[in-house]
Structure 1
Amino acid sequence: MMRIAWLFTLFILNSAKPIKDSESCGYESCNKVDPSKINVHLVPHSHDDVGWLKTVDQYYYGAKNYIQPAGVQHIIGSVVQALQKDSTRRFIQVETAFFWQWWQDQPEKTKEMTRQLVNRGRLEIVNAAWSMNDEAAAHYHSIIDQFTWGLKRINDTLGKCGRPKIGWQIDPFGHSKEMASIFSQIGYEGVFFARLDYRDSKKRHLNKDLELIWQGSSDLGNFSNIFTGVLYDFYTAPAYFCWDILCGDRPIIDNEKSFDYNVNTVVHEFADYVTKGIEYYKTNNLLITMGGDFTYQAAEMYFTNMDKLIAGFKKYRPDINVLYSTPSCYLKAVNEEGRIKNIKFQLKTDDFFPYASGIHSYWTGYFTSRPNSKRFERQGNNLLQVMKQTTSFAKYGHNLNFENNLIPLKEVMGIMQHHDAITGTEKQHVAQDYVRLLTAAVNTAEEDVDSIILNILKKTDNADDAKIKFSSCLMANVSHCEKSNLDRFTVVVYNPLSRYVNHYVRLPVNGNSYTIVGPDGNVNYEILPTIADFSYVDSITPSKKELVFVAENLPPLGLKYFYIQMSKSTRKKHKIVKQTRFGNNVSQMSKSTRKKHKIVKQTRFGNNNSGFTIDKVTGLLSSVTLNGVTIELSQNFMFYNGANGETFRASGAYIFRPANTTPTAASFAKTITYTTYATDIVDEVHQIFNNWIRQIIRVYKNENYIEFDWLVGPIALINDLGVEVVTRFVTKRLSNGVFYTDSNGKQMVKRIRNFREMYTYTNEEPISGNYYPITSCILLKDGGSDNCSQGDNLEIAVLNDRAQGGSSLEDGQMELMIHRRLLNDDNFGVGEPLNEIEFNEGVVVRGQHYLTFGRKNTCSKSSVKSAAANQRDIAQRKLLSPWVFVGDATSNQHSLQNLQAKLNFQFSGLATALPNNNTNDKATILLRLEHIFSKDEDNVLSQPATLNIGNLFPLFNIINIEEMSLAAHMPKIEIEKMTWNSFIPATPSREVRSTDLNIDLEPMEIRTFIVEVVPKTRNFV
């Protein structure tokens, strides 16, 4: 058995001509500081949201300025012109999405001018991801992807001098450990932000701890360390010193003959601001942001006044050195002074969640806001990984290049990570535009999937008549898939993971009986009722049934092909029997008439290994059995009323502030209605809590989790207040106020109720103050730790299918917020309540949770799979779930016999040869290998591992390999890190180059490579 769980992503990189860069970029281009003075680093910048109050295009072109006067194309163009006038001027460009859109519109003369500014250090690229991503709701896969894409565009256009050194996360609403780790692994030297908890901010100001060394990952140690700076006074220009067309502050008048001459006054007022600020920092350097939201649309106006300010300080306050600067130049100055004076900076090992800007303003509502958008984003990532892999196979299989089809999806997925996109904190019309963009990108990405499938499966060159048009069933969540309602259709199930998995395919159908043929012959199936009739969806005709079957042993980076035909045979009903235990082995489907599943009243579902029981009186879950262990556990839906803002802050898109600290049970009755179904594949209990909440609890045979498939909405407005719906899992386990949540889907972070590690917590908001972002998992441990003397040594986890907020408000309890409908704005800028309407009603949300538990690793025998191992396995299978494509097979030429004659019904990118490629050209592939386990999570799987990739790909031969930064924008060997105190970031001592094909992986490590390959050839079989 392999001692590591790993995955990889591959796609073809386009080549780009190298740009000759000047030696004056980088730290050498910094304006000089004076060690004997206070050095004020003016950092001109514009914070340009990739959608918020206006759509992406509206912001770029400057449309609908009555909503917000903003046009990014004018900002970049105006800045480039202004920087030409003075070699000392500086500006930082952040969002690559906007920069790339602007770049494509420019003539070559302007492009060359921009390159020169970058090469001379006047225009510095910082962050450089496609957008400034959120750090709570974004998954690390998508974060890394959008940095990779943004940095690739910067490399292609600006070359080496365009490489950023700084993370610039000035506006996101809280900051994660994993983000710090990602920045460090990309190769950045520092990260700056503006928002942190008001109590944390006060303490840091008093203790001069606004700058620190942040260890992003205990597993990666020093290599995840990064210098982190909190901005002195938010990210906007100081009050009364904004000279943009969006501001109304007085200009600097330096004509001494003018009656309004004011240089002396302005300089001394600014000096007062500076001398106050410098007291909060440990060096004589102070970073002052000169800019704000969508500033510099007329850049010369801003720069002219700053020129006069700098000159005024030389005349009236020569004791203070005011200079144009950038974040990297500021970092260089702080580092140099710190080393000379042996200044020690605080080491931080936790994160900055949750963020509270005031006593009653906890920004924890956005962890859940717009749940449908959060789910669609997760699906977009899933499909993107599938299509990156399959387009690579097409490239080598038959020299078919469909890479351009993926560009819109890469771009939109980058946009979706923005801190006003995935967060759900944008205006409604912007949210709808994000959906429009993502839907169009998905359709483009799938445009040629039928050609890809044909060419990787065909047995002979003469197989074109076996080509079927495939597409995804994105509306299967409302029980609609046009192609699966045909009399004959085909299904391709593609596995993007690098290991064999089973996948339970569920497709909306109208028929009662089917024949399913896969690569291994006939396949067993079940027909079950859908969760609801979805009659409110007036644009489609939803199906009332679901076809369920198991796609077993899906090959790694491979697929299985299934032919499905409606059968005219009649089905016999099972007798209704009295029994309490269910769960036989999955039986092989025969061609004979099938029996219908049982519909019985029962209390126990599943089998002795995996199952659950329902309380007959309440209709609620009462116990769960997994891996042969049974625990008492209940689950229910509840809701909080959102505060209306009459007293303190309202609950809104950003803020979660319940009007009541005790939620109300959503069932409104002692007993809920439920119906049970028992089949050979899955047992289900269909529950109805009220007229807007229902759920299916499932146990699939031979699985180690319980699935909760819930449907919530349209939310009824209770007591004329907003409603915030939660699901709550309750056990009798003692957790001692401790629970764990994931950080962007990767490492787990310990949380303690009513406690903060770095400052004194005050409990004015006992519910929202204990809410944390849950991107993939929340868990409890017996006794709150790995101590094996506590309880049964169990670790209980709930995994989700999208980002949500949640907590453990009492011992043994896990709560996840799943839907919000609010009637008031929280007054943090979006300007409208979070009251989504769809089909003329409040929006309906459907989602899944997955419950699992097992022994804590330290309490397990070495041969027993730990609870953490199960959690990681489930999380990977749900994040990168096998993707289902459905095709129309009603044409005569698409008979089962013809398809079997022309196509293989199975393919693996890691186990079988791929179609012939007639080119001998070399190509480059981006390869990522990841160790998904943390140290001490599992006795076996947490160990370091070595993987030889030489025989990993039967598709091609590897002729060269070079290790890159995490985002693949520079060779790892070129990463250099500053020294801070005794915290010396690890140098890349294990970089792989040339033909070394043995890759070592430490726990939690992700390694990125550019692999040069030549394709192999194959003979058709």
Structure 2
Amino acid sequence: MKLLILALITLCSIRIGECVRIVLEENIADKCDYSKCPTEINDGHKLYVHLVPHTHDDVGWLKTVDQYYYGTKQSIQKASVQDILDTVIDELIRNKQRQFEFINGGWSMPDEATTHYQSLIDQSTWGLRRLNDTFGHCGRPTVTWQIDPFGHSRELASLYAQMGYDALYFAREDYQDRYYRQFNQTLEHVWQGSDDLGKRADIFTGMMQMGYGPPKGLNWDLVGGENDHIVDNIDSKEYNVPQIVKQFRQLAKEYSQYYATNHIMFPMGTDFNYQSAHQWFQNMDKLINAINSDPKFNDIQAIYSTPSCYTKALYDSNHTWPTKRDDYFPYASDPHAFWTGYYTSRPSLKRMERVGNNWLQVCKQLDSFALNNGQYDSNITRLREAMGILQHHDAVAGTEKQHVANDYARILHEAIVECQQIISLSLNNIAKSLGQQFHSKPDELQFCNDLNISSCSITESGHSFLVSIYNPLIHPLSNHTVRLPVNERFFYQVFDDKGQSIPAVLIPIPEWIREIPGRPQRPNSNVEIVFKINHLEALGLVTYTIRSSSQFTKRSARLIKGKPIESNGIKLFGRNFDLFFDENGKPRKIMSQYGSNEFRNAIRYYEGSIGDNQLQTNRSSGAYIFRPIEQTTNAYGEIVESIAYIDNDYGLVQEIHQKYEDNVFGQIIRLTGDSEFVEFDFVVGPISVWDNIGKEIVLQYQIDQDNEGRFKTDANGRQLLSRKWNYRPTWPVIIEEHIAGNYYPVDSRILLDNPDGPSIAVLTDRSEGGTSPYSGMIELMVHRRLLHDDGFGVDEALNEPGVDGHGLVIRGRHRLLLFKDGQPDSSYHRPLSQQFFMEPIMIFAKLNKQRHHHYHHTKSMAMIMNKFSMLRTSTSLPPQIHLLTLEQWSYDRLLLRLENIYQQGEPNSKKVRVNLRNLFTTFTITHVEEMTLSANQPINVIDKRLQFNYQSSDDNQFYYRPPSSTANNTSMDIELGPMEIRTFLIKISKPQRQL
């Protein structure tokens, strides 16, 4: 939870809501906008110091969410958020000059490096929705701040601008960048968040030079406050006002040198401050009175303020500001502390967060299509809020204590299971709305949440079963491969939705997957069945039957036997390229229509630095910091076995199983004739630390082309940003840690820039750190295990024990793409990235003999819903369009977001038109209201944001690009330009007839 006198986000109980509503009514019920701000602060000869009382309350870090709120486990950290809320509210009521406002308003203060834009939008939307519902327009924040995240994203800046915020403030910036901006008085500027959206994506941004804690000598908190209280009794021997005034004036004068106007902001508070708010406010009252009443000095004035009022003062100054167009990654706090390790820290939790988002979107979609009308809203909200918590900068970031990470996983798992129950109910209701019935009752449906370790009790039982596959994308999928673990004692046939037998094969599950700790050791569960769905409809579901038998028939799936790779190697055939392997089973060459190129894939590791963290040069690698001892990697085991599995009959399987020594690593490399990518399915761990050396594991992919140190990484899964080795666009950087200082967050993809020949890109299944350390190489860090803390507060080594206590084992996937002439074809990587991020989900049901006969051999089969699409068959959407959000919003309205996924300059980057009225099958859209991105205000408020004057080298700096069009409630036609997201509250009606 984040609180800024008061920024109630996560824990808005009825009691808290009522208390805060009292504050609103008594203090500022009639002033909820900039009119509440201090007036007569426009004397150009005076320095105005805006004192901003605040407390920064993490949604879990050293303690869990509940432990922080209720104040338990005080031996870990003295922190009780409920005490903060109670005492602050009392103090606000005492004095109307102590202003109240919500800041940010999201469900948490999110991380910016390891989060995906869909979840960032969701968590902001839900937090702002709660504020709107509770406080109305007085609860709408106008300013956001990201004071604690470890680096800052251009994409999030763009999203915040589109949500209607006027300004963004943060406190962590690279130490060199900060020094450079201090010298040039450019700590405050206009951040241009998008090359596609013009001023709609611009947001005024301020760096807080002193950090987000109180100025030196002015910390009066009950917990950790180190300074004497102000004694203003002139008759007392302890009278200290002159010293405090002198110190304050010196601080203000020094601080003002770094900023361009006569307004500066002092953050008065820090982590978990204000558990006893009275002493903070008592001292600030005395400070303000002492500064402003001193007859000898009238050149400085101190005022109670807020970030919003500070923003308004800067706007009123009519200053012309510089601009910024890149991002704030990577972040370094000193020459040897690059905060780039957390891009990968806790990789299992990072993957679980992505899976949680997948379930949430499916849950919301099917709930909407089923016309459940909000009856399951509280169940879905549990997952909404769990995902909101996971976006916190000490959650998905991986920078929390181990017991907190365990609690995050518990919260998310329980919420996923609850939403899966709603999916079951929704499928039943969708079938009814279509005049059919689903193949199984809701309580008979099952979900396999351990498929990431090739485990599923229903498929491994030996029984026949049904599997329904749902595609949450608004475009169809072709040649989707399904892999399910089954019992090798039985023989299996697969039937499609029409009851026709289709090709399927069995393939052994590798030893390094079967032995993952925590995987149930079911007898004879050593193989998986593989088949393909040739066409999966947009927003569509299809049901397949897998029938088991004790006897083999000519249609039974046969086992593909492995074959050791011979001395002349082997080749896998792909749709766009072929991959050649040497006699040891290592990739050696890619051949395509563009020619032949050497290609290598390797697993290696960096040794983590060990130090006492007392000096910069003694910094350890830890949860936050990546600091290898050497700037080169070491080999991480050798291949001891390489087996090829080739299905020559159906072409369903072409893969190489590579087993590495000591079982520290295993990898499956897959490429089939209809695949546009080669998939690397890897298992890493437990990472060996017997030598008392922490290790940071990387996967490397290298092609024989020179990218000259240039590559691209995605910003939160959306726009692509250019990177260059040892370079920053906005200051002359000096990098002493050459590897760590060139790592960047990779949320969905990393691409090489190579103008002279073929190039490669890698798609990831979670957030990872990545770079291009050598010519033609992509390097991604996939796992970390370290034995020392890095000294930045978590006070615990990143040494995850895993299920069995011997170290965490992870399984992950990369997908490698090949490009012509180094140009990353967006029509290729963008849809594939969306498919990788929002994969189809599967629902299972046991098929007994009676039901099997009924399902396939009676006339009533037509009444069984085994296939549907929620997108009308007459609707053909442009490839640029992506369905970002569909969910029940109120009893009579749904929330709908559509976006154009392409970026300016890409092959498909053009404006496209969509008609909303008849998009979906179970309802017709009758009315639309366009909203801001966060859905808490009408779209026209974007035009009313504070428009700061700025200088820019961009020739189009004064060009305002308005929304492509407003939605016409008659025609329902809308347009979306490149990188545009449009958000609508829609009213619906049921169609005239069942479809």
Number of the residue aligned with 2:655: 684
Paired residue type of 1:556: A
Contact 2:912 2:975 in 1 (8 A): yes
2:291, 2:723 → 1: CA distance? 48
Offset at residue 553 of structure 1 (A): 1.5
SS of residue in 1 equivalent to 2:238:
coil
Q: Given the superposition, is the C-alpha separation of residues 617 and 701 from structure 1 closer, same or farther in structure 2, using an over 3 Å criterion? A: closer
2:438, 2:32 → 1: CA distance? 56
Paired residue type of 1:773: P
Offset at residue 1017 of structure 1 (A): 4.9
**CA deviations over 1:200-240 (Å, ceiling 9, x no partner):** 01111111011011111111122111110001300011122
Q: Given the superposition, is the C-alpha separation of residues 626 and 80 from structure 1 closer, same or farther in structure 2, using an over 3 Å criterion? A: farther
Q: How does 1:151-300 map to 2 (within 5 A)?
A: 151-246=128-223, 247-300=225-278
Q: Given the superposition, is the C-alpha separation of residues 985 and 137 from structure 1 closer, same or farther in structure 2, using an over 3 Å criterion? A: farther
Paired residue type of 1:675: I
Number of the residue aligned with 1:666: 636
Is 1:834 the counterpart of 2:805 in the alignment? no
Q: Given the superposition, is the C-alpha separation of residues 439 and 619 from structure 1 closer, same or farther in structure 2, using an over 3 Å criterion? A: same
2:556, 2:88 → 1: CA distance? 74
Number of the residue aligned with 2:808: 843
Offset at residue 624 of structure 1 (A): 2.8
1:258, 1:849 → 2: CA distance? 70
Is 1:556 the counterpart of 2:538 in the alignment? yes
Paired residue type of 1:961: V
SS of residue in 1 equivalent to 2:320:
coil
Paired residue type of 1:313: I
Out of 800, 803, 809, the position equivalent to 2:773 is: 809
2:140, 2:313 → 1: CA distance? 19
Is 1:599 the counterpart of 2:562 in the alignment? yes
Q: How does 1:853-1002 map to 2 (within 5 A)?
A: 853-855=818-820, 867-890=825-848, 892-893=850-851, 895=853, 896-897=855-856, 900=861, 902-911=863-872, 923-938=892-907, 941-975=908-942, 976-982=944-950, 986=960, 988-989=962-963, 990-992=965-967, 994-1002=969-977
Q: Given the superposition, is the C-alpha separation of residues 931 and 255 from structure 1 closer, same or farther in structure 2, using an over 3 Å criterion? A: same
Q: Given the superposition, is the C-alpha separation of residues 411 and 595 from structure 1 closer, same or farther in structure 2, using an over 3 Å criterion? A: closer
Offset at residue 464 of structure 1 (A): 8.7
Is 1:79 the counterpart of 2:88 in the alignment? yes
Paired residue type of 1:711: V
Contact 1:355 1:362 in 2 (8 A): yes
1:493, 1:961 → 2: CA distance? 31
Contact 2:574 2:676 in 1 (8 A): no
Offset at residue 462 of structure 1 (A): 7.2
Number of the residue aligned with 1:1011: 986
1:248, 1:690 → 2: CA distance? 55
Number of the residue aligned with 2:334: 358
Out of 298, 313, 316, the position equivalent to 1:333 is: 313
1:987, 1:733 → 2: CA distance? 39
Out of 483, 492, 502, the position equivalent to 1:523 is: 502
Offset at residue 609 of structure 1 (A): 3.3
2:40, 2:696 → 1: CA distance? 53
1:323, 1:51 → 2: CA distance? 32
2:986, 2:621 → 1: CA distance? 50
1:279, 1:1005 → 2: CA distance? 39
Contact 1:184 1:226 in 2 (8 A): yes
Contact 1:963 1:993 in 2 (8 A): no
Q: Given the superposition, is the C-alpha separation of residues 34 and 802 from structure 1 closer, same or farther in structure 2, using an over 3 Å criterion? A: same
Is 1:616 the counterpart of 2:582 in the alignment? yes
Q: Given the superposition, is the C-alpha separation of residues 490 and 468 from structure 1 closer, same or farther in structure 2, using an over 3 Å criterion? A: farther
SS of residue in 2 equivalent to 1:395:
coil
Paired residue type of 1:258: S
Contact 1:182 1:224 in 2 (8 A): yes
Offset at residue 539 of structure 1 (A): 6.8
Q: How does 1:432-581 map to 2 (within 5 A)?
A: 432-457=406-431, 469-486=444-461, 487-502=463-478, 503-511=480-488, 512-520=490-498, 521-531=500-510, 532-535=512-515, 537=517, 540-541=520-521, 543-570=525-552
Offset at residue 717 of structure 1 (A): 1.6
Number of the residue aligned with 1:655: 625
Q: Given the superposition, is the C-alpha separation of residues 707 and 622 from structure 1 closer, same or farther in structure 2, using an over 3 Å criterion? A: same
1:89, 1:981 → 2: CA distance? 30
Offset at residue 900 of structure 1 (A): 3.2
Contact 1:387 1:445 in 2 (8 A): yes
- TM-score, normalized by length of structure 2? 0.89
Q: Given the superposition, is the C-alpha separation of residues 947 and 856 from structure 1 closer, same or farther in structure 2, using an over 3 Å criterion? A: farther
Contact 2:594 2:820 in 1 (8 A): no
Paired residue type of 2:531: F
Paired residue type of 2:975: D
- TM-score, normalized by length of structure 1? 0.87
Out of 645, 651, 655, the position equivalent to 2:611 is: 645
1:347, 1:538 → 2: CA distance? 51
**CA deviations over 1:410-451 (Å, ceiling 9, x no partner):** 001000010000110000000000000001000111123323
SS of residue in 1 equivalent to 2:575:
coil
Contact 2:439 2:865 in 1 (8 A): no
Number of the residue aligned with 1:861: none
Contact 2:687 2:695 in 1 (8 A): yes
SS of residue in 2 equivalent to 1:160:
helix
**CA deviations over 1:65-90 (Å, ceiling 9, x no partner):** 11111111111221111111111112
Out of 38, 43, 57, the position equivalent to 2:52 is: 43
Out of 71, 96, 105, the position equivalent to 1:128 is: 105
Number of the residue aligned with 2:643: 675
Q: Given the superposition, is the C-alpha separation of residues 469 and 611 from structure 1 closer, same or farther in structure 2, using an over 3 Å criterion? A: farther
1:372, 1:1018 → 2: CA distance? 47
Q: Which runs of 5+ in 2 are unaligned?
A: 1-16, 875-889, 951-956
Offset at residue 600 of structure 1 (A): 3.0
Paired residue type of 1:739: F
Range moving further from structure 2, 62-71 or 891-900: 891-900
Identity over aligned pairs, percent:
40
1:356, 1:962 → 2: CA distance? 44
Offset at residue 538 of structure 1 (A): 5.2
2:344, 2:415 → 1: CA distance? 24
**CA deviations over 1:974-999 (Å, ceiling 9, x no partner):** 23122222556847553336445111
**CA deviations over 1:616-664 (Å, ceiling 9, x no partner):** 3442111234677643211000001101115510000000000111111
Number of the residue aligned with 1:12: none
Offset at residue 551 of structure 1 (A): 2.3
Paired residue type of 1:908: S
Is 1:312 the counterpart of 2:319 in the alignment? no
Matched length: 924
Contact 1:624 1:630 in 2 (8 A): yes
Number of the residue aligned with 1:588: none
SS of residue in 2 equivalent to 1:735:
coil
Paired residue type of 2:809: V
1:352, 1:807 → 2: CA distance? 16
Contact 2:574 2:673 in 1 (8 A): no
1:851, 1:82 → 2: CA distance? 58
1:538, 1:854 → 2: CA distance? 39
Offset at residue 176 of structure 1 (A): 0.8
Is 1:385 the counterpart of 2:350 in the alignment? no
Q: Given the superposition, is the C-alpha separation of residues 453 and 552 from structure 1 closer, same or farther in structure 2, using an over 3 Å criterion? A: farther
2:306, 2:838 → 1: CA distance? 39
SS of residue in 1 equivalent to 2:129:
helix
